[in-house]
Amino acid sequence: MEKLKNIHPGEVLQEEFLVPIGVSAYKLAKDTSIPQTRISEIIKGRRRITADTALRFAKYFGTSPKFWLGLQDDFDLEEEEHHITNELNNIQTLQQDAA
């Protein structure tokens, strides 16, 4: 089974929010007081969504900050798991004594 591509929150921002509602990255930057370079870097997948950004996106799009941070956490976990798969496979699960 082929593994799906790990989707960066910036791709979700672009494809699920900006494009459908017709808002440019420039307008998002102006309306949220986020530097345009930060928005651009997020969309390109080169920058994380921080708590500050999550709060601003949540207010602007009517979502929750946890939605944005959850996307980022999911992305980060999948990326890290990919990088340390061999090490994780070598870790034994702790066996606790039955009481």
Domain ranges of the chain: 9-88
Amino acid at 24: S
pTM over 0.75: yes
Higher pLDDT, 1 or 77: 77
Q: What is the number of alpha carbons within 13 Å of residue 43 lying toward its C-beta?
A: 18
9 token code pair: 């929150």
Furthest C-alpha separation in the chain = 61
Q: Which fold has domain 9-88?
A: 434 Repressor (Amino-terminal Domain) (1.10.260)
Least confident of 2-6, 59-63, 71-75, 76-80: 2-6
Report the pLDDT value the prediction gives residue 46, as an integer from 0 to 100.
98
| CA-CA-CA-CA torsion sign (59, 63, 65, 69) | negative
Mean pLDDT throughout 68-73? Answer: 98
